[in-house]
């Protein structure tokens, strides 16, 4: 309660005094209230709730402008709203201790992994950093909550045999074209389902996809993919502009869920576990790096903003490390 009152006084002085004066004010208030105790009479009222909703709405609008997808915006909203309800305080009065307690209870109650817990922490960090930048609060309470350490597990890529078994499991030309396009381009499943027929350049064996943050990049496919993709399009009887559609009328554009279902079915038929779209991206990164492609080019190919993300995708073959050591060091 004492910290809440001090925060409210500081927030009320925003714009009237500079940072040095604000620090002095904080010191004076701490001294004045050192031996004073307070009890909180009321919690959230209608006005608090209205201000909270307004701030959250403005934050989500800012993320939308930055290029976040609707799925990401919804995840931000549900995560932050749950935190606000759980702590039951006005946003500007939420402290580091409140958030630490909430995160500990959240992990215990849901049994989530450390990676998921850190994702939640990052969302809170983004939200409170925005509040700080917009002068709604003095300092983000998440600053003192450090990254949640977790084991770095490199997930398994497909082997050449895996990919051939998946191809053999395909019952039609559509699924074969879909497997080959994912395998040779490493594109995201969201990028794949947004593709249209007229976006495929068969002469150059390339296409432009729209990735995260509405950014676009070129991806490339091999001759095998070109042949199977052309066979699939030639077999189509519909007028849909979508590159991949359902096999039955009304031939709707395939959704992300639809692609995932197709791959799970093919994986089960081929007796291969964990067949999903993202694994093709990981396989492409691993193959490219082990064949000597510079990591910066792999990053460009996958559309990653940070090179660290690319490195997390790839499994570097130890034999290649030994060969490189002999080549460059020994």
CATH of domain 160-328: 1.10.443.10
pLDDT of 42 reads: 45
Longest dimension (CA), the chain: 82
Stated as kind and residue range, the H or E segment containing 209 is strand 206-210
Q: Give the Cα-Cα-Cα angle 148, 152, 156 (nearest 5 degrees).
A: 140
Written in H, E and C, the secondary structure of the chain is: CHHHHHHHHHHHCECCECHHHHHHHHHHHHHHCCCCCCCCCCCCCHHHHHHHHHHHHHHHHHHHHCCCCHHHHHHHHHHHHHHHHHHCCCHHHCCHHHHHHHHHHHHHHHCCCHHHHHHHHHHHHHHHHHHHHCCCCCCCCCCCCCCCCCCCCCCCCCCHHHHHHHHHHCCCHHHHHHHHHHHHHCCCHHHHHHCEHHHEECCCCEEEEECHHHCEEEEECCHHHHHHHHHHHHHCCCCCCECCECCCCCCCECCHHHHHHHHHHHHHHHCCCCCCHHHHHHHHHHHHHHCCCCHHHHHHHHCCCCHHHHHHHCCCCHHHHHHHHHHHCC
Cis amide bond preceding 250, omega within 30: yes
**pTM attached to this predicted model:** 0.66
Q: Which pair of tokens denotes residue 259? A: 């692609």
Q: Which pair of tokens denotes residue 133? A: 């930048």
Sorted by where each begins, the domain ranges of the chain are: 42-133, 160-328
Whether the CB-CB separation of 254 and 193 falls below 8 Å is answered with: yes
pLDDT of 327 reads: 67
Question: Consecutive 10-residue runs of the chain (330 residues): their mean pLDDT?
Answer: 72 74 80 66 56 90 87 93 92 92 93 91 96 92 90 80 96 95 94 95 94 81 96 95 94 95 96 95 88 87 84 67 64
pLDDT of 7 reads: 76
Among candidates 95, 96, 119, which has minimal Cα distance to 107?
119
Question: Could you say which architecture CATH assigns to the domain 42-133?
Answer: Orthogonal Bundle (1.10)
């Amino acid at each position: 309660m004492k910290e809440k009152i001090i925060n409210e006084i500081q927030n009320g002085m925003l714009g009237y005094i500079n940072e040095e004066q604000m620090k002095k004010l904080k010191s004076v208030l701490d001294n004045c209230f050192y031996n004073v105790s307070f009890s909180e009479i009321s919690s959230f009222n209608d006005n608090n709730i209205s201000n909270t909703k307004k701030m959250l709405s403005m934050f989500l609008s800012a993320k939308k402008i930055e290029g976040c997808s609707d799925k990401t915006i919804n995840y931000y909203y549900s995560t932050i709203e749950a935190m606000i309800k759980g702590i039951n305080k006005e946003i500007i009065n939420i402290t580091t201790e409140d958030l630490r307690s909430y995160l500990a209870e959240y992990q215990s109650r849901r049994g989530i992994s450390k990676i998921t817990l850190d994702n939640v922490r990052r969302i809170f960090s983004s939200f409170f950093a925005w509040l700080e930048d917009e002068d709604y609060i003095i300092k983000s309470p998440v600053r003192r909550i450090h990254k949640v350490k977790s084991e770095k597990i490199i997930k398994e890529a497909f082997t050449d045999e895996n990919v051939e078994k998946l191809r053999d499991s395909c019952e039609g030309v559509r699924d074969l074209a879909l497997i080959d396009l994912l395998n040779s381009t490493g594109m995201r499943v969201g990028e794949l389902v947004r593709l249209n027929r007229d976006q495929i350049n068969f002469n150059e064996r390339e296409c432009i996809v729209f990735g995260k943050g509405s950014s676009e990049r070129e991806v490339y496919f091999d001759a095998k993919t070109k042949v199977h993709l052309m066979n699939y399009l030639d077999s189509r009887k519909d007028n849909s502009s979508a590159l991949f559609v359902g096999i039955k009328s009304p031939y709707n554009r395939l959704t992300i869920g639809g692609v995932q279902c197709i791959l799970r079915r093919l994986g089960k038929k081929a007796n291969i576990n964990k067949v999903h779209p993202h694994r093709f991206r990981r396989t492409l990164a691993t193959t490219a790096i082990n064949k000597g492609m510079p990591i910066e080019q792999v990053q460009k190919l996958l559309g990653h903003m940070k090179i660290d993300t690319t490195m997390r995708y790839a499994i570097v073959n130890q034999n290649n490390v030994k060969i490189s050591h002999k080549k460059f060091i020994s």
